[in-house]
């Protein structure tokens, strides 16, 4: 048996099973010039206080390395362990040029799949392999997928405030920078709004946690849309994120109530646990719906796209398993008239943002891109990030994702601290938000 011979030749350092795996790799790559995966490591860094996971794949070809985003900032160390303890031994020695095949192998090898930790770990490897393939070809990744449909990705910025005048002021700043789209979020005095400023005061409650009451938020948001249209006119495109914080029937009402404001999209009116309510919303109004940043699984996005129940798919690309599944789902959406609006918050590494922009450029059914600026500390660690000009995000024209990592700089920003070096609560995870009576709400 060749496997036994291989194991014997290795002096017992590997098992017969591992030798068999190596033999399979050798058989699969015989006659092909593919580089092989020589090492896999995690670059764990928090340059802006948010814990980023970057997977680095080193090949057996000198200087040929790839990077990918696997950032799940709320549970980052678990992703890093999944990469180092499970994916690394599974993929060492395998060819780098069979990306989809390796994705399927990683996805299925855990048996229990579609969870955020493992999907992010797979994404880190997947995106690193696309980076390597682009570098081999001497092309940016978007060229590997057929090239550009558009020159750059039209983006929306996050306009917010503790009250309506602050929101309007924030909007005007984005408009002055050239943005054609803004996401508007307003706070409620004394409460913990999503994506809005928070005042010092706090409403009376039966507990000491941050307070949120859905009905207060809904009334404030409706007044904000009215003020935005009155003060900013009809030309600016308005987005809004409910962040799944209201009840399903409140979501139906709110989708109907905002119809007259002609929003660009209305995001996450329902939680992933309440997806069947989208059919009811669809039957009652034509408010454009965006959904998906919490999705892990085809079980979630397939029905919504296939039944045309949403208008924008907003998945977090690393959370859905990386670039490979995202491009397939985008193509699925094209057939059903559902556009892309990939999740682009601060807790995505620049490699994740680069993957978003590559998809934005190559997918005919691009809708909009969420934009989060790259600060000076992030740029110190990552060189070659996508560039923002006049509300458009431009991809790097360098091979692969076009981004280099300064690992010494990355080590200056360890997990668990904010930009000022202070320890973060809950090891960087989120806390809790409650209604006045103490009931927990979704974040
Ligand atoms: Mg959102």
Q: Give the pLDDT of residue 17.
A: 65
The dihedral of CA 28, 34, 35, 40: what is its sign? negative
Strands 404-405 and 392-394: unpaired
Give me ligand 1 centre to Cα 268, in Å. 7
Residue 239 CA, ligand 1 centroid: distance in Å = 10
Q: How far is the CA of 139 from the centre of ligand 1 (A)?
A: 32
Q: Of 142, 194, 392, 415, which residue is the catalytic one?
A: 194
Compute, in angstroms, the gap from residue 345 CA to the centroid of ligand 1.
Answer: 8
What spacing in Å lies between the alpha carbon of 353 and ligand 1's midpoint? 15
Please give the distance of CA 127 from its chain centroid, rounded to a whole number. 13
In this prediction, residue 195 carries a pLDDT of: 79
Dihedral angle of Cα 223, 228, 233, 236, to the nearest 10 degrees: -130
Q: Is 11 left (phi over 0), alpha (psi -120 to 50) or beta?
A: left
Which is nearest to 322 in space by CA: 348, 286, 291, 283? Answer: 348
Q: How far is the CA of 271 from the centre of ligand 1 (A)?
A: 11
pLDDT at position 9 = 46
Helices 323-336 and 99-109, packing angle to 10 deg: 100
CA–centroid distance, 92 to ligand 1, in Å, is 36
Catalytic residue (choose from 158, 181, 243, 316): 243
243 catalytically annotated: yes
Strand partners, 54: 43, 69
Q: Cα–Cα distance between 323 and 371 in angstroms, integer? A: 18
* Distance (Å) from CA 342 to ligand 1 centroid: 10
Please give the distance, rounded to the nearest whole angstrom, from the Cα atom of residue 98 to the centre of ligand 1. 33
Per-residue exposure over 391-424, b if at least 16 CB sit within 10 Å of its own CB, e if not: bbbebbeebbbbbebeeebbeebebbeeeeeeee
Element (H, E) at 341: none
In sequence order, what are the beta bridge partners of 423?
417
From residue 402, how far is each of 65, 70, 207, 391, 411 by CA, in Å?
12, 17, 49, 21, 21
Q: Specify the pairing of strand 382-383 against strand 52-59.
A: unpaired
pTM of the model: 0.91
State the distance from the centre of ligand 1 to the C-alpha of 293, rounded, in angstroms.
6
Spatial distance between the Cα atoms of 16 and 3, rounded to a whole number of angstroms: 6
CA distance 54 to 120: 10
Strands 404-405 and 382-383: what pairing?
antiparallel
Order of strands, edge to edge, in the sheet holding 37-45? 37-45, 52-59, 65-69
pLDDT value at residue 429: 79
What value, to the nearest 5°, has the Cα angle with vertex 157 and ends 152 and 159?
Answer: 165
Q: How many CB atoms lie within 10 A of CB 137?
A: 13
Please tell me the predicted confidence (pLDDT) of residue 11. Answer: 47
Alpha-carbon span 342 to 153, nearest angstrom: 11
Between the CA of 149 and the centroid of ligand 1 the distance, in Å, is: 26
Q: How far is the CA of 242 from the centre of ligand 1 (A)?
A: 8
pLDDT tens, 355-369? 999 999 999 999 999
Q: Quick one: pLDDT at residue 201?
A: 67
Closest CA to 266 of 283, 281, 280, 247: 281
Q: Is 240 helix (H, G, I), strand (E, B) or coil?
A: strand
- Give the pair of three-digit tokens for residue 18: 């591992």
Is 343 one of the catalytic residues?
A: no
108 CA to centre of ligand 1 in angstroms:
29
| pLDDT for the residue numbered 29 | 44
Cα-to-centroid distance, 183 and ligand 1 (Å): 10
Task: Tell me which residues of the chain have a pLDDT lower than 50.
Answer: 1-7, 9-12, 25-30
Burial string for 311-329 (b: 16+ CB within 10 Å, else e) reads bbbbbbbbbbbbbbbbbeb
Domains of the chain (ranges plus CATH)?
Answer: 1-27 (no CATH), 144-401 (3.20.20.120)
How far apart CA 277 and CA 210 sit, in angstroms, is 28
The Cβ of residue 283 has, within 10 Å, a number of other Cβ atoms equal to 8
Residue in 382, 280, 331, 310 with CA at minimum distance from that of residue 68: 382
């Amino acid at each position: 048996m060749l496997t036994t011979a291989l194991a014997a030749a290795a002096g017992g350092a590997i098992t017969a099973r591992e030798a068999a795996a190596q033999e399979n790799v050798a058989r699969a790559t015989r006659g092909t010039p593919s580089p092989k995966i020589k090492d896999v490591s995690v670059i764990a860094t928090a340059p802006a206080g948010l814990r980023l996971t970057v997977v680095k794949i080193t090949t057996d070809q000198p200087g040929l390395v790839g990077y990918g985003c696997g950032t799940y900032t709320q549970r980052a160390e678990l992703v890093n362990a999944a990469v180092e303890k499970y994916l690394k031994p599974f993929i060492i020695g395998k060819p780098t040029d069979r990306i989809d095949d390796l994705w399927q192998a990683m996805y299925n090898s855990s048996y229990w799949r579609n969870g955020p930790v493992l999907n992010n770990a797979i994404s880190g490897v997947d995106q690193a392999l696309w980076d390597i393939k682009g570098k081999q070809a001497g092309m940016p990744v978007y060229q590997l997928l057929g090239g550009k449909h558009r020159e750059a990705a039209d983006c929306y910025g996050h306009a917010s405030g503790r009250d309506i005048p602050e929101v309007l002021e924030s909007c005007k700043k984005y408009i002055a920078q050239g943005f054609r789209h803004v996401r508007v979020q307003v706070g409620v005095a004394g409460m913990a709004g999503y994506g809005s400023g928070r005042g010092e005061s706090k409403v009376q409650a039966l507990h000491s946690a941050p307070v949120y009451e859905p009905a207060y938020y809904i009334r404030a948001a409706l007044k904000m849309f009215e003020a935005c249209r009155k003060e900013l006119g009809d030309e600016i495109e308005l987005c809004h994120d409910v962040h799944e914080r209201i009840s399903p029937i409140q979501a139906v009402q709110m989708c109907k109530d905002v119809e007259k404001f002609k929003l660009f999209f209305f995001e996450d009116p329902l939680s992933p646990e309440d997806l069947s309510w989208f059919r009811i919303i669809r039957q009652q109004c034509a408010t454009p719906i965006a959904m998906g940043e919490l999705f892990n699984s085809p079980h979630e996005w397939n029905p919504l796209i296939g039944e045309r129940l949403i208008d924008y798919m907003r998945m977090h690309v690393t959370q859905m398993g990386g670039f490979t599944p995202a491009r397939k789902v985008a193509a699925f959406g094209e057939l059903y008239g559902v556009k892309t609006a990939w999740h682009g918050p601060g807790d995505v590494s620049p490699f994740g943002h680069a993957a978003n922009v590559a998809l934005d450029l190559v997918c005919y059914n691009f809708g909009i891109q969420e934009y989060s600026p790259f600060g000076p500390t992030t740029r110190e660690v990552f060189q070659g990030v996508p560039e923002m000009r006049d509300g458009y995000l431009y991809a790097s024209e360098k091979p692969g994702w076009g981004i280099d990592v300064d690992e010494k700089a990355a080590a200056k920003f360890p997990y668990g601290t904010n930009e000022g070096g202070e320890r973060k609560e809950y090891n960087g995870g989120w806390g809790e938000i409650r209604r006045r009576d103490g009931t927990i709400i979704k974040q």
